[in-house]
Amino acid sequence: MTVEILATSLANGVMLGGLYALVALGLTLIFGVMRIINFAHGSLMMLAMYATFGLATRTGVDPYLALGVTVPGGFLVGWGLQRLAIAPVLGAPEHNQLLMTLGLALFLDNLALALFTADPRTLLTAYSASTVAIGPVRLNLPRLLAFAGALGITAALAAFLKLTVLGRALRAAAEERDGAALVGIPVRRMYALAFGLGSACVAAAGTLAVPFFYVSPEVGNTFVITAFVVVVLGGLGSFPGALLGGLAVGVVESLGGLFLHGSLAQIGIFLLFILVLLARPTGLLGAAHA
Amino acid sequence: MRELGAGAALAGALLLPLVVRSEHVVGTLTLIFFFAFVGQGWNILGGYAGQFSFGHALFFGIGAYTSALAFIKGGISPWLGMVAGAVLAALVGLLTGHLSFRYGLRGAYFALVMLAFAEIFRVAVTNWEWVGASFGLLVPLRGHAPALFQFADKRAYYYVILGMLLALTAGVARLERSRLGYEMAAVRENEAAAAALGINPYRVKLVAMALSAAVTALGGTFYVQYFSYVDPTIAFGPAHSVEILLRPILGGAGTLWGPLLGSALLGLLGEATRGLVRAHAGLHLMLYGLILMVAVVFLPRGVIGLLHRRP
C-alpha cells in the first residue's frame, strides 16, 4: 500500500465526513432544542434526494441548483412536521417521542418505496467522475463540492445562531425553556424553527450527495444511522461535536474500507459508537450531564 | 365469568384448525400468535422493566441462526437448537445489558445502542460465508419429521406456536405477580426510588434482558422452521426490530395481553387491507408507521388502556 492510496483514502474520508457532519448538524440542532432524537431525519434526506434527482432528470438543470428548492422545501416540511406530529408528544414520555419519529420514518420511507420502487437510481453528470489534484491526492469533484457546501452551511448556521436575535432566542429556548418563555420568546415557534432548520440542513445534505451517491428509499437510513453515531460521538446537542464527529466517522469508514472489504467497513463505525457510548455517553464534546 | 371467557377462547383456538379448513386462515392466526410471542418477549424488557430496545432483532436472529446452523451443519434437531439459541441469546443479552446498564445508559441512548448491536450482527453475518452471507440459510426439507421440527401439515405449526404462546403467557402472568415482577415495575417507574428501597436496578434490568432475549430467540427458531428460510436482513435488520416492538406498543406495553391484542389487531388490519397492500410494495409498512403515530398520540397506553379507562 502506497502513501498516495492512504492519503487519498484519508482525504475521501474527510470529504464524506463533511457530509455526515451536515446530516448530524440537523439532528443535533433538533435534539439540542427539543431533546428529541429524530428517527425521521434520514427520511427527509431521502425525500430531498428524490426531489433533486427528479428535478435534474426532468428539467435537465444542474443538480446543485436544486438546493434552491430542497432547502426551503426541507425547512417548510420540517416546520409542518413539527407542528403536526412532534408538538402533540412534546410532553409525553421519551419513548413515545422516539416512537412518533420512528412511525414518521416508516411512513415516509415506505411512501417513497410505493411511489418510486426499491430500484436504486444514480444521477450521472458531466463532472461525476472529474477529479481535482491537490498535491499527490486526487479528489473526486462532487465529493469536494459536497464537503465545501457542508462547511459553508455549517458556518452560516453557526453565524445565524451566534449573531442574530432570532438565533439567540433559539439558543435561549434550548437552554432554559421556562426562562425563555418568561422573557417573551415564543418557545413553541422556536421548536418549529429548530425542526425546520434541522430539516433544511439534512435536505441540503441530500442534494449535495446526489451527484455521487445512489438514491433509494432506504438511503436515508444509511446516513441517519451513521449520523446517530456522529452525534453521540460528538455529544448530542453539540455543534462543534457534530463537525468533529462527522469527520472522525468519515475517516474511520474510509480507512476501514481499505482494510475490510464491502460493508464490513461499517462495523468499525458501530464498534466506535458502542465504545463511545460506554466510555463517555455524553460524547467527546457534550455537556457533563446526560 | 372471566375464566369462562378464557376457557371458551382457548377451546375455540384449539378446535379452529379442525373446523376451518382454510389454510389461509390458519396461516394468518399462526403469524398472529408468532408476533404475539416475540412481542411478549420484547414486552418483558421494554414493557415491564421499561427499557426500550430498538434492536430486539438481535435476539430473534441469534435464535433463528443458531438452530438453523446446528441443523444444517451438524444435523442437530432444531428442538435442541432452539434451546441452544435461547441460551446463546440470553448470554448475548447479559453482555449487551451489562455494557449498557453498567454505564447507566437509558432512554434514547439505550434504544440506540441496541440498534447498533443488532446492526453489527447484521453486517457481520452478511459478510460471513460460512453462515450463508447475504444469501441467508435455507433449511433442508425432510418432509414429515416432528423430531426435526418439520411438519407436512401446516396446522402443526399452529399448535406449536399456540402452545408456546400459552406457556409464555402463563409464565409472564406469574412473573407479573412475583417479586421480580414488582421489582421490574419499580425500576420502570422510578429507578432512583427503587434503588433507595434496596432494589438493585442493574441486576433487575439484567435479568429482564436475559429473559426477554431468550424468549425472543425461541421465536426466531419457530420462524425459521415455519418459513424454512432466513437471511441477515430478515433476522437482524432494523425493520424487524420495529416489527417486534410495534404490536406490544399498540396493544399496551407492560400488560399481559397487550402483545396478543396488538398482534390480533394488526393481523386483522393486514387482512382487511390485503388486496390494496399486495398491489403496492411498502404500503403495509406505511400503514404501520401511521398506526404507530396515531397510537402514540391517542393511545399512549395502548388499546388495552381504552378498556381499563376509569369513568
pTM of the entire structure? Answer: 0.86
- Most confidently predicted of A93-97, B105-109, B245-249: B245-249
Secondary structure element (H or E) that encloses residue B137, with its range: strand B137-138
- Per-residue pLDDT reduced to its tens digit, A161-178: 999 999 999 988 888 888
Measured from the Cβ of residue B29, the count of other Cβ atoms closer than 10 Å reads: 19
**CA–CA separation, B16 vs B24, rounded Å?**
13
Contacts of B109 in chain A (CB under 8 A): 232, 277, 281, 290
Cβ contact A45:A206 at 8 Å: yes
DSSP single-letter state for residue B229:
E
pLDDT surpassing 80 at residue B157 = yes
- Kindly state the average pLDDT of the residues B211-237: 94
pLDDT for the residue numbered B37? 97
| Residue B234: CA count within 13 A, CB half-sphere | 18
Query: In Å, how far from its chain's centre is CA B211?
Result: 12
pLDDT band at A10 (very low <50, low <70, confident <90, very high): confident
pLDDT surpassing 50 at residue B197 = yes
Closest among B270, B277, B289 to A114, alpha carbons compared: B277
**CA–CA separation, A102 vs A107, rounded Å?**
9
* B123: nearest CB among A110, A267, A281: A267
- Whether residue A110 and residue B293 make contact (CB cut-off 8 A), yes or no, is no
Q: Would you call B189 an interface residue with chain A, using a CB distance cutoff of 8 Å?
A: no
Cβ contact B150:B19 at 8 Å: no
Q: Would you call B37 an interface residue with chain A, using a CB distance cutoff of 8 Å?
A: no
Nearest-Cα distance to chain A for B295, in Å, is 9
- Whether residue A270 and residue B127 make contact (CB cut-off 8 A), yes or no, is no
pLDDT surpassing 60 at residue A289 = no
The cell numbers describing A254, all together, are: 474510509
- Per-residue pLDDT reduced to its tens digit, B49-86: 999 898 999 999 999 999 999 999 999 999 999 999 99
**CA–CA separation, B159 vs B83, rounded Å?**
19
Specify the range with the lowest mean pLDDT, choosing from A32-41, A245-254, B275-284.
B275-284
pLDDT band at A288 (very low <50, low <70, confident <90, very high): very low
**Cα Rg of chain B, angstroms:** 19
pLDDT surpassing 80 at residue B249 = yes
- Whether residue B108 and residue A94 make contact (CB cut-off 8 A), yes or no, is yes
**CA–CA separation, A124 vs A102, rounded Å?**
32
pLDDT for the residue numbered A80? 95
pLDDT band at B178 (very low <50, low <70, confident <90, very high): very high
pLDDT surpassing 60 at residue A187 = yes
Q: Would you call B176 an interface residue with chain A, using a CB distance cutoff of 8 Å?
A: no
pLDDT surpassing 50 at residue B152 = yes
Say which residues have a Cβ less than 8 Å from residue A268's Cβ, sequence separation at least 6: A252, A253, A255, A256, A260
- Kindly state the average pLDDT of the residues B12-41: 90
pLDDT surpassing 80 at residue B191 = yes
Question: How many angstroms separate the most distant Cα atoms in chain B?
Answer: 60
Query: Is A132 in a helix, a strand, or coil?
Result: strand
Closest among B278, B288, B186, B308 to A102, alpha carbons compared: B288
Specify the range with the lowest mean pLDDT, choosing from A254-263, B107-116, B273-282.
B273-282
- Whether residue A95 and residue B99 make contact (CB cut-off 8 A), yes or no, is no
pLDDT for the residue numbered A22? 92
| Higher pLDDT among residues A255 and B88, named by residue | B88
pLDDT for the residue numbered B100? 87
Nearest-Cα distance to chain A for B80, in Å, is 31
Interface mutation vs chain B, best among A90, A94, A110, most B CBs within 10 Å: A110
Burial class of residue A162 in the structure, from the number of CB atoms within 10 Å of its CB (0-12 exposed, 13-18 middle, 19+ buried): exposed
- Per-residue pLDDT reduced to its tens digit, B107-141: 777 888 898 889 889 989 998 889 888 899 999 88
**Cα Rg of chain A, angstroms:** 19
Instruction: Give the amino acid at B15.
Output: L
pLDDT surpassing 50 at residue B23 = yes
pLDDT for the residue numbered A283? 61
Interface mutation vs chain A, best among B126, B286, B291, most A CBs within 10 Å: B286
Say which residues have a Cβ less than 8 Å from residue A283's Cβ, sequence separation at least 6: A231, A232, A233, A234, A235, A236, A238, A241, A245, A276
The cell numbers describing B113, all together, are: 445502542
The cell numbers describing A1, all together, are: 500500500
Listing DSSP states for B166-213 in one string gives HHHHHHHHHHHTSHHHHHHHHHHH-HHHHHHTT--HHHHHHHHHHHHH
**CA–CA separation, B50 vs B37, rounded Å?**
18
Say which residues have a Cβ less than 8 Å from residue A186's Cβ, sequence separation at least 6: none
Name the average pLDDT for chain A.
86
Q: What is the count of residue pairs from A and B with beta carbons less than 8 Å apart?
A: 130
Name the average pLDDT for chain B.
89
pLDDT surpassing 60 at residue B48 = yes
pLDDT surpassing 60 at residue A203 = yes
- Most confidently predicted of A131-145, B90-104, B154-168: B154-168
pLDDT surpassing 80 at residue A284 = no
- Kindly state the average pLDDT of the residues B163-167: 96
**CA–CA separation, A151 vs A128, rounded Å?**
20
Interface mutation vs chain B, best among A102, A223, A260, most B CBs within 10 Å: A102
pLDDT surpassing 60 at residue A290 = no
Q: What are the angstrom distances between the C-alpha of B166 and each of B69, B160, B249, B260, B267?
A: 27, 10, 20, 11, 18
Instruction: Give the amino acid at A183.
Output: V
Contacts of B108 in chain A (CB under 8 A): 37, 94, 98
- Whether residue B292 and residue A109 make contact (CB cut-off 8 A), yes or no, is no
pLDDT for the residue numbered A175? 83
Query: Is B100 in a helix, a strand, or coil?
Result: helix
pLDDT for the residue numbered B196? 92
- Kindly state the average pLDDT of the residues B192-221: 95
Proportion of chain A above pLDDT 90, given as a percent: 38
- Whether residue A106 and residue B288 make contact (CB cut-off 8 A), yes or no, is yes
- Kindly state the average pLDDT of the residues B101-108: 78
The cell numbers describing A233, all together, are: 460521538
Contacts of A112 in chain B (CB under 8 A): 282
pLDDT for the residue numbered B111? 85
pLDDT for the residue numbered A281? 63
Measured from the Cβ of residue A215, the count of other Cβ atoms closer than 10 Å reads: 24
pLDDT surpassing 80 at residue B279 = no
Nearest-Cα distance to chain A for B205, in Å, is 17
- Kindly state the average pLDDT of the residues A220-247: 83
- Whether residue A106 and residue B103 make contact (CB cut-off 8 A), yes or no, is no
Cβ contact B87:B27 at 8 Å: no
Nearest-Cα distance to chain A for B179, in Å, is 26
| Residue A71: CA count within 13 A, CB half-sphere | 15
ipTM: 0.81
- Kindly state the average pLDDT of the residues A230-259: 83
Percent of chain B as helix, strand, coil, to the nearest 5: 80, 0, 20
Secondary structure element (H or E) that encloses residue A134, with its range: strand A131-134
